[in-house]
Chain A
């Protein structure tokens, strides 16, 4: 077997090297041990927190908020996007309202949401709902607008009703781009759930990390970040799996297989 210079193994070796260097540097107390606990301690406390159920419990409350806001946004803004993509009048009517709300950076919605919903779940759900709205809405509009005219003409030729055309032609044809919007929003959802829990919460993974930092439980902080990275990775993989199954008909139509 010859050694491939560009093998995937390189990356893992580097990762192992970094972890080993971290461990050694921390054990030799090269850096402030308060800030850099040894890697083994971080991994150890990660598993301890995992099996004691503390991290899963925090994750669960974060995920409940994230899922509620995310799906609410999808339920409201995909149909709205379809309407706005189909009917230019609707688009023109809402254009200025949307364009004036869109440049608001989502984190500054947190204080506003705190005012209306207090510190509970409603505040986080609303923040996520608001910030997921734009990628979903704009991508759906684009997706509907970019539908091949021939498809629509064909539907009309076959005498499909408006409702039937939307359900069996427009929604499937726009779905790849809707998926793009949903995928962008997934990343945004995670960011916003962490932000809203950092600013106003007493549980959830964002709170957990910031709280660990404030109490100088640094190994817990790193363990929380590790679990957040794993969660992000997992959610993304799940999404890819789901969307490739959902869009499998579409892949065959593209030039690149």
Chain B
């Protein structure tokens, strides 16, 4: 794929830290109770019972994440285009947006529990709420920052409002939308795991907190490893998709210069 050399120094430091961790936890049982050797945590990942349990929690978390993220994207991009395109619509919503936006999104969880109970709907709903903000604001910005010449050109060629929106405004705003989508990716994961911790039942957030409370520390670390891997993989998938979708754009920016 790419010919980036392997980061030997980085790997060495990483391995040294793991080794230090392993040795100090093995030599001091007191410390080992809180900080079990990493090899134990890894090994427990491969124990069938743990793996099966983790997998089912992973599926739950992933399902909530995907559902919330996709719904948020659809809603926020749609609304963002309307608010970016029509200044009158924006002026109507301006104050409401400014009022709700600075509230830390997790504060919506209690309200969601009250209105939607403690099921999947509630967890997806809070994810949608929190993810919608970065996507919405970036989409509005993107549509507003479109070069006037582009729109005027479209108009000169006799394109209707709808056609301009679809063939000029949307592609031109795409890089901004992508930024919003990238920002809200970790936010979605934060909201899913937090709501799983608060209401419990299932999911990786619940699993990790539950293991800590029942003092099964090795399993807790195994859960953290899985959730970190999930975050990592999701990010890689996103970056790959983004590169493919905005390939045309890169050619016109500094980044894409030969």
* Stretch in A51-59, A108-116, A155-163, A174-182 touching the partner: A108-116
Inter-subunit contact B227/A108 (CB<8 Å): yes
Q: Which residues on the A side are within 8 Å of B190 (C-beta)? A: 105-107, 191, 195
124-158 of chain A: CB within 8 A of chain B: none
- Least Cβ distance of A15 to chain B in Å? 5
Q: State whether the Cβ of A89 lies closer than 8 Å to any Cβ in chain B.
A: yes
CB distance from A64 to the nearest CB of B (A): 17
Given contacts A14-B95, A18-B96, A213-B111, contact A104 B212 (CB under 8 A): no
Given contacts A10-B91, A115-B217, contact A236 B102 (CB under 8 A): yes
Number of interface residues of A (CB under 8 A): 57
Stretch at the interface among A21-29, A74-82, A204-212, A244-252: A204-212
A199-257 at interface with B (beta carbon < 8 Å): 199, 206, 209-210, 212-213, 218, 221-222, 224-225, 228-233, 235-236
Whether A96 contacts B96 by the Cβ 8 Å rule is: no
Complex-state Cα separation, A18 to B96, whole angstroms: 9
Instruction: Compute how far the CA of A93 lies from the CA of B230 in the bound complex, rounded to whole angstroms.
Output: 24
| Residues A112 and B110 in contact in the complex (CB < 8 Å), given A96-B13, A105-B186 | no
The answer to whether residues A212 and B110 also contact, given A103-B232, A107-B194, A108-B208 and a CB cut-off of 8 A, is yes
C-alpha gap A14/B99 in the complex (Å): 12
**Residues of B with C-beta under 8 A to A194:** 104, 106-107
Taking the complex as formed, is A190 at the interface, i.e. its CB lies under 8 A from any CB of chain B? yes
**B106 / chain A contacts, CB cutoff of 8 Å:** 191, 194-195, 198, 206
Assess A191 versus B193: contact at CB under 8 Å? Given A10-B92, A103-B231, A199-B209.
no
Residues of A within 8 A of B105 (CB): 191
Q: Is A30 an interface residue (CB 8 A)?
A: no
Q: Does A94 contact B (CB under 8 A)?
A: yes
A115–B216 CA distance with the chains assembled, in angstroms: 11
- Decide if B109 touches A104 in the complex (CB within 8 Å): no
Q: Are A108 and B87 in contact (CB under 8 A)?
A: no
Of residues 83 through 108 on chain A, the ones whose CB sits less than 8 Å from some CB of chain B are 89, 92-97, 100-101, 103-108
A35 on the interface (CB 8 Å rule)? yes
Partner among A93, A106, A108, A213 whose Cβ is within 8 Å of the Cβ of B113: A213
**B180 beta carbon closer than 8 Å to chain A:** no
Question: Among B9, B14, B220, which residue has its beta carbon within 8 angstroms of that of A111?
Answer: B220
Q: Which residues of B contact A100 (CB under 8 A)?
A: 14, 228, 232
| Docked complex: B208-230 residues within 8 A CB-CB of A | 208-209, 211-213, 217, 220, 223-224, 227-230
For A104, the closest partner residue in chain B by CB is: B228
- A-B pair count, CB < 8 Å, reads 166
Which chain A residues lie closer than 8 Å to B230 at the CB level? 103
Evaluate contact between B10 and A8: CB separation under 8 angstroms.
no
Indicate if the CB atoms of B103 and A6 lie closer than 8 Å: no
Question: CA separation between A230 and B102, bound complex, in Å?
Answer: 7
- Chain B residue with Cβ nearest A224: B107
In the complex formed, the residue of B with least CB distance to A88 is: B9
Q: Given A7-B91, A199-B209, do A210 and B104 touch, yes or no (CB 8 Å)? A: no
The answer to whether B34 touches A115, judged by C-beta atoms less than 8 angstroms apart, is yes
Which chain A residues border B198 with CB–CB below 8 Å? 198-199, 210
Does A187 belong to the interface (CB within 8 Å)? yes
Please tell me which one of the listed residues B90, B111, B205 contacts residue A108 in the complex, with CB atoms under 8 A apart.
Answer: B205
State how many angstroms separate the Cβ of B257 from the closest Cβ of chain A: 16
Q: Which residues, 164 to 212 on B, are CB-close (under 8 Å) to A? A: 186, 189-190, 193-194, 197-198, 204-205, 208-209, 211-212
Indicate if the CB atoms of A6 and B87 lie closer than 8 Å: yes
> Can you list 26 A-B pairs with a CB-CB distance of less than 8 A?
A5-B88, A10-B94, A14-B93, A14-B95, A95-B7, A97-B10, A100-B14, A104-B231, A105-B186, A107-B193, A107-B205, A108-B204, A108-B208, A108-B224, A115-B217, A115-B220, A191-B105, A194-B104, A198-B106, A198-B197, A206-B107, A212-B110, A218-B114, A225-B107, A225-B111, A236-B102
Task: Identify the 4 closest CB pairs spanning chains A and B, nearest first.
Answer: A11-B95, A232-B102, A103-B231, A213-B110
8 extra interface residue pairs, beta carbon distance < 8 Å, beyond A12-B95, A94-B10: A11-B95, A14-B92, A96-B10, A100-B232, A107-B197, A115-B34, A191-B106, A228-B104
